[in-house]
Chains A and B, each alone.
Chain A
Amino acid sequence: MSQKNSEQFIRTCLLLILSLLVIAIVLPMGWIVLSSLKNNNEFFSTPLKLPGRLLYVNYQNAWNLGLSQYFINSVLVSGVSIALTIVFGSACAYGLTRFYFKGQTVLFYLILGGLLLSPQVAVLPLYRMLNQFGIYNTYWAMILPYVAFRLPFAIFLIRSYFISFPRELEESAYIDGCNALTTFTRIVLPISKPILASTAIVTGIFVWNEFLFALIFIENKSLMTIPIGLSTFRDALTTDYTTMLAGIVIGSLPIMILYLAMQRSFIKGLTAGSVKG
């Protein structure tokens, strides 16, 4: 009986600590969301009070002040980067696992070595290179480096999946007259949907949130992605704080919703990589 009581006591204590931590995590976010629904007067005079009237118009303003364009750019850049990473990544993983040739392992390690190299170290030469290619300040100035820096990890992930499943299916496809390409597109890719989903998600978060490349490779406001757009908001809206807060919320929501909707693929991708932003 007493053991049961002490267990109950420990449980209560732990839940209390965990709940305090929940407050520490949720309070800052909640404060931002609530403040984003206030007018600037309220925000300045009573930062801790609930908004008197919910001003959804802040969201409309943020959206119309350029966020809509940043949003479209982010969707476009993320979409194309994900697509290219998946196509080239899975093809390369297939070439590395289903063929035998000299130097295969060296090639794999060469590609994997890309994981060791941080984007910061490449950013200045890339800036010059993109200028020379004539694609500085275009969508491609972001997309091409993003794909290049995500491919090593994508190949690493997809390759380990390809290795894990039996080859009999593919053998029979060959007998039925498929060639290497049709086997890849009709047999291998459809079975690999789970890992492709994880790869897409990890690539998507990276691109959606990326700051450094987007800051340096883009000049035009009309091409900026959400992170850069938001940081220019800070300079442009020095007095209209609550609109800026609404912008922060709009920029963060898509990924949070995606996470809550697809937790499993999310966690699989993130933990397999163990790489931080």
Chain B
Amino acid sequence: MKRGKYTHWLFIIPALLFVLIFVYIPILQSFYFSLFRMNSYSPETIFVGLRHYRDIFDDPIFYTALKNNTWYAVISVLCQVGIGLVLAIILESKFIGRSRKLFRNIYFLPSVISVTAVGLMWYFIYNPNIGLINSLIRWGGAKDFSFAWLGQPKTAIFAIIAMSQWQYVGYIMMLLIVAIQKIPVELYDAAEIDGAGEVKKALFVTIPQVKEMLLVTSVITVIGSFKLFTEVFVTTRGGPYDTTQVLGTYMYRHAFFFDAMGYASAVAIIIFVITFVASLLQIKLSTRN
């Protein structure tokens, strides 16, 4: 066999360089930048230590953002994983015949569309005057109904969250369907011999068997919730009155509107800590067996 002592490096190095230069180094730089006051006009940077972190924790908008990300995470786990599981069980049950493939594809379809397109679609659907939702309500009888779903501080963030449920419930369902299909048939046969009906089979075979996948999908959903950016950016840009700010848009605003790169980097590090811990948890869960 002809292979040099260092041949393997020829294969590995290009990818390794990519990941080091464009993934690892920037993230280390984020830590570093967060300790400085810096802007794009002057090359001058001033060391401020942990002051940005203190300022962030003193900023009420930061807590609005954190609260919105948390709402998004809680509702998404309940809706996407909860409804996703029920749908997966129904579609894999004996009640649904050949039509299961059709249902599956329709539910999954929104998750392949870009968040931008979905956001713009719902921007119209939520429009107080011509939007689909208010038009349907008016058609149903409430003649003068014109509620600004995305324009009212109380409802705006929930309108955005609802849109995401519409987009992603089918995705989580698909992950769970794949997990259900891997369950050995013998388990169901045994349950049937014991006289279990469909509901009991779901409760005592399916759910325990996909428990790991339920945890994994929950963690993915939580991670996704703290990476939130596009959904908010294309619909409300954080408004009205900052009530729909999330950590991602909060970071963007400080970086590009207030030109406070150091402060924004500190926000990035807070996002990093939250998503990193959750990702570790995901890897731990998905490699447990």
Contact = CB atoms under 8 A, between A and B. Distances in A.
A26 B113 contact: no
A116 B121 contact: no
A107 interface: yes
Contacts of B117: 227, 230, 248, 251-252
Interface string B223-259: 1100101100110000000000000100100011000
B27 A121 contact: yes
B227 A88 contact: no
B288 to A, nearest CB: 14
Contacts of A222: none
B58 to A, nearest CB: 21
Interface residues of B, number: 93
Given A117-B23, A234-B120, A255 B112 contact: yes
Contacts of A115: 279, 283
The A contact surface, by secondary structure, is helix
Interface stretch (A50-58, A61-69, A140-148): A140-148
B234 A28 contact: no
A129 B15 CA distance: 19
Contact of B271 (A32, A118, A211): A118
A1 interface: no
Contacts of B21: 148
Interface in B78-125: 87, 90-91, 93, 95-96, 99, 103, 105-110, 112-117, 120-125
8 smallest beta-carbon distances between A and B, as pairs: A95-B11, A148-B22, A209-B114, A99-B8, A92-B15, A122-B26, A125-B29, A125-B26
Given A35-B124, A118-B223, A231-B116, 8 more contacts: A28-B166, A47-B131, A98-B8, A122-B23, A124-B268, A126-B26, A260-B105, A270-B175
27 contacts: A18-B96, A25-B106, A25-B166, A26-B106, A28-B121, A32-B125, A48-B139, A88-B14, A92-B15, A111-B15, A117-B272, A121-B269, A124-B251, A124-B264, A152-B19, A184-B11, A211-B114, A216-B256, A227-B230, A230-B116, A234-B234, A241-B124, A241-B130, A259-B112, A276-B171, A276-B224, A277-B115
Interface of B: 1-3, 7-12, 14-16, 18-19, 21-27, 29-30, 33, 87, 90-91, 93, 95-96, 99, 103, 105-110, 112-117, 120-125, 129-132, 135-136, 139, 166, 168, 170-171, 174-175, 178, 216-217, 220-221, 223-224, 227, 229-230, 233-234, 248, 251, 255-256, 261, 264-265, 268-269, 271-272, 275-276, 279-280, 282-283, 286
